[in-house]
């Protein structure tokens, strides 16, 4: 587009500032939408995601102990999630489902703007395709291929079917994969 505008400027005496603004204006709006999205992603607050954690009730503790999930390490991780800002990792950029959520929220909030709806819709489809593929592969085959750790499921590779005493099907899935 810039090349075409430059050519029109150099060759056409009718090319004016008004025509330049007419051609550049839709691009400015799109770039403004992208700027707003990247600004929101850069300053996204990850503290909202920790509000979904359940409280430490007796039944939850008993269940976690039975599954081998109780202990100081798990409690430290959970306390970090409940109290963000205590370490450097709480300032990590948003990724995976969080990015999809931000794009979807912006798409819903700006649904009256056709350009924003088109832009955010295409970004959501493009960004959601790898995430959906990883999730579908994990659900269908039980293989978790998440090299950037963007999926909402984490794998504990130290748990195998051979390390479990009995009822390895349910216990295997509950101990090996966590949300």
Domain annotation covers residue 72: no
The contacts of residue 81 (CB under 8 Å, 6+ apart) are 50, 53
| Angstrom distance (rounded) from CA 75 to CA 169 | 26
Domain annotation covers residue 56: no
Domain annotation covers residue 3: yes
Half-sphere exposure of 14 (CA within 13 A, CB side): 0
pLDDT of residue 150: 73
The tokens 């990792």 sit on which residue? Answer: 89
Domain annotation covers residue 146: no
Domain annotation covers residue 178: no
pLDDT of residue 52: 41
Tokens for 88, please give them: 């450097």
DSSP code string of 130-170: HHHHHHHHHHHH-----TT--SS-EE-TT--GGG--S-HHH
> CA angle 80-45-175, nearest 5°?
40
Give pTM, 2 decimals: 0.56
What is the total count of domains within the chain? 1
| Angstrom distance (rounded) from CA 153 to CA 146 | 9
Domain annotation covers residue 15: yes
What is the residue range of 4's domain?
1-43
Domain annotation covers residue 91: no
Domain annotation covers residue 30: yes
The tokens 């505008």 sit on which residue? Answer: 5
pLDDT digit string (tens) for the chain, length 179 residues: 889 999 999 999 999 999 998 988 878 889 899 999 999 988 875 444 444 444 445 555 554 454 444 555 445 544 444 444 333 445 667 777 888 999 999 999 998 999 999 999 999 999 988 888 888 887 887 777 777 777 777 777 666 666 656 655 666 677 777 77
Residues found in the chain = 179
pLDDT of residue 112: 92
pLDDT of residue 56: 42
């Amino acid at each position: 587009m810039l090349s075409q505008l430059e050519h029109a400027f150099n060759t056409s005496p009718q090319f004016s500032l008004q025509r330049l603004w007419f051609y550049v204006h839709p691009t400015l709006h799109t770039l403004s939408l992208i700027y707003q999205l990247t600004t929101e992603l850069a300053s996204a607050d990850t503290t909202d995601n920790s509000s979904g954690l359940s409280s430490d009730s007796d039944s939850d503790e008993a269940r976690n102990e039975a599954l081998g999930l109780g202990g100081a390490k798990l409690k430290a991780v959970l306390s970090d999630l409940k109290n963000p800002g205590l370490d450097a990792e709480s300032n990590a950029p948003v990724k995976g489902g969080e990015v999809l959520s931000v794009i979807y929220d912006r798409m819903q909030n700006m649904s009256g703007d056709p350009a924003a709806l088109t832009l955010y819709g295409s970004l959501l489809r493009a960004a959601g395709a790898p995430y959906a593929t990883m999730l579908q592969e994990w659900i269908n085959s039980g293989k978790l291929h998440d090299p950037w750790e963007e999926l909402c499921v984490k794998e504990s590779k130290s748990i195998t079917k051979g390390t479990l005493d009995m009822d390895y099907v349910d216990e295997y899935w509950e101990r090996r994969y966590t949300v």
